[in-house]
Amino acid sequence: MSLWSPSSWTKKGVADGVEFFFAATSAALAPWVTLAKQADKTTPAVLLGVSAFLTLVAKYASRTLEQREKASGEAHVRSLAARAVQAILAKMQEYYFADEAGDERYKHRVTLFKCVEDAARGKHLAIFSRVGVRLDSQCFWRLDDNHPDGCRGVAGKIWYHNITDIKIAACDWPKDGEPALKARYAQSLDITVAEAEALNVKSRAFAGAPVMVSGRKWGVLLLDSLKDGFITDSPHKKGLLNRYTELVGRVLTEVLS
């Protein structure tokens, strides 16, 4: 007997078939029906969850955008500040070392150090802007708020003592590597021989002052020269150092605040 034989379609068979059809359909739809029944209870919670999730995503996206814009804005401000300061330092170098012949001007530099802190170096003075040779220098000077010995280099001492300072090395750095002269040079600048050896440029004279930004100590402006006689405490040169230090501080206060 064929399965599809009409002879097998008795009334009872039809009734059984209908029952089977509904039973099978019900079984197949059972999960959906259950879900549908539960939907009335769960929809508000689900909607709330979804909406909370979407809100979080939107907030995250918005914050990320804001942070990107802020970072971009801050980078722009930093770039503006650096360019403005660079122009001021260039003028300062021109006026302060005005009595130097043009081709020898490279022997004198003006550097603005900024106080920064990171895990590797701790608190230190890093180059923010420089006019003169070794613009790409990674030179830094460690700082210690509690002891002057922990503040390294002329810049570090200026930072610690909060003073304008002039230092002339006792001698030039020896070209022949004479150890006694190396020691004399380093000692007169209050640095170790190793620190002196690490310097790209072994300058003879230094002058500098702390820079205040928004009423807080921010960094140190430092002049250095390979030649003795150009950095002095004459009223004219001290006046220039003071005025330019204040100018740099004011510009940074305006730009960074």
Partner 1 sequence: MSTDLFLNQDKVNELEPFEGDERTRAMLSPYAVPRTVSLDLDDDLVEHVEFGYSEEETEGGAAALDARSDPKVIVATGNETQKVLSLDFTPAVGVDGLRRVAKRLEEQALGIQSKAKKLSYVMTARVLTEFVIAIALSRGDR
- Chain positions contacting partner 1, by CB under 8 A: 161-168, 170, 188, 209-210, 212, 215-217, 233, 235, 238-239, 241-243, 245-246, 249
DSSP β-bridge partners for residue 210: 220
Nearer to partner 1, 132 or 249 (CB): 249
- The least distance separating partner 1 from the CB of residue 167, rounded to whole angstroms, comes to 5
Report the b/e string of 72-96 with b at 16+ CB within 10 A. Answer: eeeeeeeeebeebbbebbeebbeeb
Nearer to partner 1, 84 or 247 (CB): 247
- The least distance separating partner 1 from the CB of residue 242, rounded to whole angstroms, comes to 4
Nearer to partner 1, 124 or 237 (CB): 237
CB atoms within 10 A of CB 188: 13
- The least distance separating partner 1 from the CB of residue 151, rounded to whole angstroms, comes to 13
- The least distance separating partner 1 from the CB of residue 125, rounded to whole angstroms, comes to 15
SS3 (DSSP) at 214: coil
- The region, left, alpha or beta by phi > 0 then psi within -120 to 50, assigned to residue 215 is left
**φ, ψ for residue 162, nearest 5 deg:** 60, 45
- Give the strand pairing for 216-225 and 108-118: antiparallel
Nearer to partner 1, 132 or 210 (CB): 210
Which residue in the block uniquely carries the two structure tokens 């004459």? 234
Nearer to partner 1, 144 or 246 (CB): 246
- The least distance separating partner 1 from the CB of residue 247, rounded to whole angstroms, comes to 10
